[in-house]
Structure 1
Amino acid sequence: MTHPHARTRRAAFAATAVAGALAVTLTGCGGTTKDDSSGDANAKTSDAKADPDAPLKEGLKVAFLPKQINNPYSKIVNKAGIEAAEEYKGTGKEVGPSDAKASSQVSYINTLIQQRQDAILIAANDPKAVCGPLKQAMKQDIKVVAYDSDTSKDCRQMFINQASSEEIGRSQIQHVAKQMDYKGELAILSATQNATNQNTWIEYMKKELKKPEYKDMKLVDTRYGNDDDQKSFQEAQGLLKSHPKLKAIVSPTTVGIAAAARYVSSSSYKGKVIVNGLGTPNQMRKYIKDGTVEQFSLWNPEELGYLGSYAAAALASGQITGAEGEKFKAGKLGEYEIGKDGEVILGPPTVFDKKNIDDFDF
């Protein structure tokens, strides 16, 4: 499924050169690893040289490591990335923990190194907790691409960002402010306390709130649902009990916004408390149609996974090294240029409401 506005968005980003600003424990693994005779692959752009004319290698093995394996949003992203791998005659898979704790991804990275993957794509639960094993992967010539939620910059070659982090954060305040008539209390329901993407967006939300037009609005609380449906539901309930004058909940996480909407939809707060944030159309359709939610935003998660998969393949094939200014083709999405710090931006988020939600199926 292709986003109806994808062609327009991609054209806009091509015009702007796509410059950087868009969820078990296993035993530790030793065993055979990739031959590192070519040197330290962690010297990402200084020693390695790109060959833009190199063909994509056949038989590449790429693995998606989401924040947590049972997140509906992550399944959409990763399924599209795995299908993209089939297009360039590679194989892809999804592995990961059932919880979103900071250290839960570490053992999976170790296993992927042992399995001699060509590339690891990771949505980091914590920017630093995964760095050690990711650096080991790069030393073994396994390419590392962060997507959705970044690692520390020296722990991967590239970061595939959904949209400009600033645009995502500021736009959430801009949207909810209009619904609130620019006055009243609001709260944030986030994912985990260490999630890089969530925290970056929240910082831009706070910066936006400092503008004069928001002087009558007040951020009264930030809660964390850990991208767990039941905990997010309970945190939404707790916010409304703790703040009886609360006018809006903004949840920049697909799990959180759905849980908050579910609670509000069956409570006396329906029609009184605004729920906004980031969600998927299929998740939020019933809440749009029953009037619980007026609008929400998101990028196309299928395109995010697809772009990440092609970026990993381009790295593993030597077409790019992750250096600023390099370009690569991402299948049907067209050409992208790498921005500062190895960042590539997919495109601007789309606002979903009653008028357009049935145009989307993801």
Structure 2
Amino acid sequence: MPSVPAPDTSRIPSASRALRRTCSALAAATALALAVTACGGTTKNSARQDGDAAASGATARPHAPLKKGLTVAFLPKQVNNPYFTVAGKGGEKAVRELGSTYKETGPSSATDTAGQVGYVNTLTQQQVDAMAVSAQDPGALCTALQQAMRGGVKVVTFDSDTRPGCRDVFISQASAEALGRTQVELLARQIDYKGEIAVLSAAQTATNQNTWIGFMKKELKKDKYRNIELVATAYGNDDAQTSFQQTQGLLQEHPKLAGIISPTTVGIKAAAQYLAGSRYKGKVALTGLGTPDDMRRYIKNGTVEACELWDPARLGALAAHASVALASGRITGAKGEKLDAGKLGTFTIGDRGVIDLGTPTVFDARSIDRYHF
């Protein structure tokens, strides 16, 4: 497990932060009733239920001034992952434009769930105003995130969600159903709607991956896919070498494989790298979620016909806007509330506190040079 950074003791808490620290300590040491009594109705409590994104009873003030000087922390699944680097840059730019301070921390491995919990606890101790988290596991972070919320920290998840009762809002890349179903359709067209296919996923516990794969399986039940068979799901753990080896293994174990879907930017790039240097190039189709900069060479050399993705920089920016809006009281996470995200537009919070970024973009030989991220 990577070392967890020590709290930033150079920051001198204000009176409101001191009160929040007191409330957090009370919540940890005594019954929830005492915590609610000490802190009034302004903090979250563990009575939040899944799907109830605003169970604290807080009321949104959509015209409240945006607070300045906040500290917004980003906690991706994995630091130094190219995808999260782009998302973080988008978040950092937005946070600074909103007059607040951005920081990023997190594990170096996409499967270090215990390490990610440790970072949540450290950020809570540092009294950040909001944290934007991409969860490695849907349930493992819940206790730590709820403790943060009881201490007054606003919690946004982005890219990969935790349970709804453990955060205020979730910034979804697009509709999970649309992402799962469109990847199947992309591959099916390339293999003429027949043959064996496999999925190369990230970590076995990744919330977003499993949700998309679930919708892939539902899509495959449609009659037009009756001649397509999903024969395997492999896990590359968002590690390039592991994903490369898993691709090789899939092709060895399933010699009749017609195509692979990899709903992870690390996985699809590694799979494309393997296919490009093998006898399977042009014979086994590959699609999934990839950045245009990663996939450009493979699309241009014919290894991949098409893939899709959203703009991760916009995803990070929207997570930043949601974080500041929550900390300013403009939104609470309740269904129907409006989030004004500046140049990104206005978004409506949906069921279970979900905000959809928009529809994915398909990249192919005709369009890929229009995109650079």
Question: TM-score of the superposition, structure 1-length normalised?
Answer: 0.91
Give percent identity, aligned residues only: 55
Structure-2 separation of matches of 1:238 and 1:28: 41
Q: Tell me how far 1:25 sits from its aligned partner.
A: 3.6
Residues 1:41 and 2:51 are matched in the alignment: no
Match of 2:4 in 1: 26
Asked if the contact 2:8/2:126 (under 8 Å) is kept, the reply is no
| TM-score normalized by the length of structure 2 | 0.88
Q: In structure 2, give the amino acid aligned to 1:200.
A: T
Asked whether 1:76 is paired with 2:86, we answer: yes
Structure 1 gaps of 5+ residues are 1-23
Matched letter for residue 26 of structure 1: V
Task: Measure how far apart 1:103 and its partner are.
Answer: 2.4
Distance in 2, matches of 1:220 and 1:103, equals 32
d(CA) in 1 for partners of 2:8, 2:328 = 26
Match of 2:26 in 1: none
Change (3 A) 1:219 1:57: same
- Map of 1:16 onto structure 2: none
Could you tell me which amino acid in structure 2 is paired with residue 53 of structure 1?
H
User: Counterpart of 2:231 in structure 1: which amino acid?
Assistant: V
Residue 187 of structure 2: aligned partner: 176
Determine if contact 1:63/1:120 at 8 Å carries over to the other structure. yes
Aligned residue for 1:348, secondary structure, equals coil
Q: Please state whether the residue corresponding to 1:103 is helix, strand or coil.
A: helix
Residue of structure 2 equivalent to 1:195:
206
Secondary structure, aligned partner of 1:258: helix
1: CA distance between counterparts of 2:216 and 2:153?
A: 36
**Is the CA contact (8 Å cut-off) linking 1:257 and 1:279 kept in structure 2?**
yes
Equivalent residue, structure 2, for 1:6: none
Question: Which residue in 2 is equivalent to 1:13?
Answer: none
Query: Where do 1:233-252 residues align within 5 Å?
Result: 233-252=244-263
- CA distance in 1: counterparts of 2:6 and 2:352, whole angstroms: 30
**SS of 2:233 mapped into structure 1:** strand
The amino acid across from 1:209 in the alignment is L
* C-alpha deviation, 1:30, in angstroms: 12
Q: CA RMSD in A?
A: 1.6
Query: Larger C-alpha radius of gyration, 1 or 2?
Result: 2
Give, in angstroms, the shift of residue 192 of structure 1. Answer: 0.4
1:330 to 341, 353, 359: 341
Report if the CA contact (8 A) 2:44-2:56 is conserved. no
Shift of 1:41: 1.9
Instruction: Give, in whole Å, the separation in 2 of the partners of 1:316 and 1:230.
Output: 40
Unmatched tracts of structure 2, length 5 or more: 10-17, 24-38, 49-53
Residue 267 of structure 1: aligned partner: 278
- Give 1:93 shift: 1.5
Given candidates 149, 166, 169, the residue that maps to 2:160 is 149
In the alignment, structure 1 residue 63 sits paired with structure 2 residue 73: yes
Measure how far apart 1:283 and its partner are: 0.5
Aligned to 1:285: 296
Question: Which amino acid in structure 2 is aligned with residue 222 of structure 1?
Answer: T
What displacement does 1:94 show? 1.4
Indicate how the Cα distance of structure 1 residues 154 and 30 shifts in structure 2: closer, same or farther if over 3 A, else same: farther
Question: Tell me, what secondary structure is at the counterpart of 2:114?
Answer: coil
2:61 to 32, 51, 64: 51
Contact 1:28–1:107 at 8 Å: present in 2 too? no
2:72 aligned counterpart, secondary structure:
strand
CA deviation map 1:150-206 (0-9, x unaligned): 001110000000000000001111110010101001000000001110000000000
For residue 92 of structure 1, report the CA deviation from its aligned partner: 0.8
Preserved CA contact (<8 Å) 1:249 1:274: yes
Pick from 139, 142, 147 the counterpart of residue 128 of structure 1: 139
Secondary structure, counterpart of 1:104 in structure 2 = helix
How many positions carry a matched residue from both structures? 339
Distance 2:255 2:246 in 1: 14
Q: How far is the alpha carbon of 1:35 from its aligned partner?
A: 4.9
Q: Provide the rounded CA distance (Å) in 1 between the counterparts of 2:57 and 2:261.
A: 44
Q: Is the 2:4–2:115 contact (alpha carbons within 8 Å) kept by the matching residues of 1?
A: no
In 2, Cα distance between equivalents of 1:27 and 1:327: 35
Q: 1:342 maps to which residue?
A: 353
- The superposition leaves residues 90-137 of structure 1 with CA deviations (integer Å, 9 ceiling, x where unpaired) of 011211001122322000001101111000111100010000110000
* Aligned CA distance change for structure 1 residues 25 and 129 (closer, same or farther; 3 Å): farther
Provide the rounded CA distance (Å) in 1 between the counterparts of 2:339 and 2:228. Answer: 44
- Are residue 159 (structure 1) and residue 170 (structure 2) matched? yes
Tell me if structure 2 keeps the 8 A contact 1:257–1:276: yes
Q: Would you say the 8 A contact 1:29–1:110 is kept in 2?
A: no
State which of 185, 192, 197 in structure 1 corresponds to 2:196: 185
